[in-house]
Copies of this chain bind each other. A is one copy, B any other.
Amino acid sequence: MCAGVPDAELMVLERAITDLHVEPRGAIVDEGEPALHMFNVTAGTVKIYKLLPDGRRQIIGFLMAGDFLGLAVRQSYAYSAEAVTQVRLCRFPRKKLEELFERYPMMEKRLLGLAATELAVAQDLMLLLGRKTAKERLASFLLMLSDRAKRLGHTSNPVALPMSRTDIADYLGLTTETVSRAFTQLKNMKMIRLETTSQALLLDPDALRAITEGGA
């Protein structure tokens, strides 16, 4: 049911857990709300993002099966979360979770490890946003999705792009037009082929990897 949490420990939480289903474009949490729950994504893709008052948006992550939502959180959510595809999550109250920690301190260690991983990912994204060109950003993004799909046991070469061009743009700090042009560039360089707009075949992953770091 709720992957990522060991069954024995899960029993304690069981009554408090809710299995949520959310349709595409459905809101999951809103920035600024009191952070009452933590979530674990069990299926589908979720985007988490921050907004500026004038509407500019930065997507700070795409969450997929196994990812936690609400780690980075203190009193209130620091970001909003919305379903990209149909999503299944399991939701548990943070308060109950704290009780669980009292009994199973081991879990805290696991969360710390997850937080460390998230931080490393965040730092890679900072490098991307601060210093990479549009083409480099897109190449990095495609490889990241591919690696992630592989880890989840999905097909990693024609890589699935469940999110819209607008979402990709808001993740990479670009506009949809620039993202589209970057796709075209990579196509012209024979490094990818778009099977459909939401499925990219990576023709030369090594060359993509090179682009990622400035190798063209």
Interface residues of A (CB under 8 A from B): 50, 52-54, 56-58, 60, 71-74, 78-79, 101, 105, 108-109, 111-113, 115-120, 122-127, 129-132, 170, 172-173, 213-215
- Which 3 pairs show the lowest CB-CB distances between chains A and B? A130-B173, A105-B105, A72-B119
Q: How far is the CB of A33 from chain B (nearest CB, A)?
A: 15
The count of identical subunits is 2
Evaluate contact between A79 and B123: CB separation under 8 angstroms: yes
| Closest CB in chain B relative to A95 CB, distance in Å | 15
Chain B residue contacts of A101, Cβ below 8 A: 109
Q: Point out which of A79, A105, A118, A119 has the most chain B C-beta atoms below 10 A from its C-beta.
A: A119
Q: Please measure, in the bound complex, the distance between the C-alpha atom of A213 and the C-alpha atom of B55, giving whole angstroms.
A: 10
Give the nearest-CB partner of A119 in chain B: B72
Name which residue of chain B comes closest to A125, CB basis: B126
Q: Give 20 CB contacts A-B under 8 Å.
A: A50-B126, A52-B127, A53-B214, A53-B215, A54-B214, A58-B130, A71-B119, A72-B123, A73-B120, A74-B120, A105-B105, A105-B108, A111-B112, A118-B119, A119-B119, A122-B123, A122-B126, A129-B173, A130-B170, A130-B172
